[in-house]
Amino acid sequence: MTAGEVLTADNAVVAVLGAGSWGTTFAKVLADAAIATGAERSIRIWGRRNEVVEQINTEHRNEQYLKDVALPDSITASTDVSKVLAGAGIVILAVPAQSLRPQLREWKPLVAPDAVVVSLMKGLELGTDARMSQVISEELGIPQERVAVVSGPNLAMEIARKEPTASVVACSDETTAASFALYCTAPYFRPYTSNDVVGVEIGGIVKNVIALAVGICEGKQMGDNTKASVITRGLAETSRLALALGGEARTIAGLAGLGDLVATCSSPLSRNHTAGRLLGQGLTLEQVTEHMTQTAEGIKSGYAVYELAGKLGVDMPITAAVVAVLEGKLSVDELGPRLLARSLKSEGDY
């Protein structure tokens, strides 16, 4: 079957690998999209923890990550990944970025060769500087036209509560992007499409690092002027890196760039914003990690972003300052003056 045929099947089986807040929320989006169109869909979530899986199956909730949000009956869960992937024509990946490659090597024999694989992840792999769509294509041996990416201002709890949001589905094949966008359109979830996979992924990756910086500023009780300045110049850093990799400026000015950046930098629901705020309040990185119930991808991917920028000769002073804090080379008290440390020049000169 072609990717389009898989995505237009009414009775498709969908596997969602990852039972955290965003994986569970997106499973709900897919279920609600099916309900809205009268389609029959079996949506299976794979999770590591028995108690989470059991609660999804018996109470139709995932209280650890989504509190009291009710899940549709069409969603089931299992700790057995082979059962979740059996017969799945669509595979949604929502696991921590740094664990993706070894997990895909384990899962490859279980993934249908004609499956469409969708990444919900926003991270850059340490050591290779690979984007998640690249890791998926490499490890599963599938062409890029069968790999899609979902990104944008996607704070899971708000979407789980059916608060209206827009997002982006990106794929090198426009038909695949359009088909999956239709597949995941729910009354409260409106996806746009793009063929700029690079721009969409880079927007989702760098915003995590910038959100750490903004969170640190908030933890240090800096004002809105400071935070707005960091967000705006962070967007410029994101644009420089995306353009250097072949992405498009209009993507970074859209939902997957500016939209995601604003949401992640300003919301207390953002894991990266929260982690930065805790660092700014004086917690050590180890204490922050212990405090967080889910991965703050900016902590893991920050160095990979900094390394990639160095290889490409892209100036990213905010990213460099955040990485220095994470590595213990710079204190949060010294961060402020470094955030806007570029030499004087025209604002338009990226």
Q: Which residues are annotated as a binding site for NADPH?
A: 21-22, 48-49, 65, 122, 156, 271, 297
Cβ atoms of residues 148 and 161 within 8 Å: no
Binding residues for sn-glycerol 3-phosphate: 122, 152, 207, 260, 270-272
Q: What is the DSSP letter of 343?
A: P
Q: Counting Cβ atoms within 10 Å, is residue 113 exposed (0-12), middle (13-18) or buried (19+)?
A: exposed
| 343: its two tokens | 């030499």
Choose the catalytic residue: 67, 83, 207, 227. Answer: 207
What SS3 state is found at 16?
Answer: strand
Tokens 């869960």 — which residue?
A: 77
Sequence-ordered list of residues with C-beta below 8 angstroms from that of 337, at least 6 positions apart, any chain: none
Binding residues: 21-22, 48-49, 65, 122, 152, 156, 207, 260, 270-272, 297
**108 a catalytic residue:** no
b/e for 27-48, b at 16 or more Cβ within 10 A?
bbbbbbbbeeeebebbbbbbbe
C-alpha span between 134 and 123 (Å, rounded): 11
CA diameter of the chain: 60
Active site residues: 207
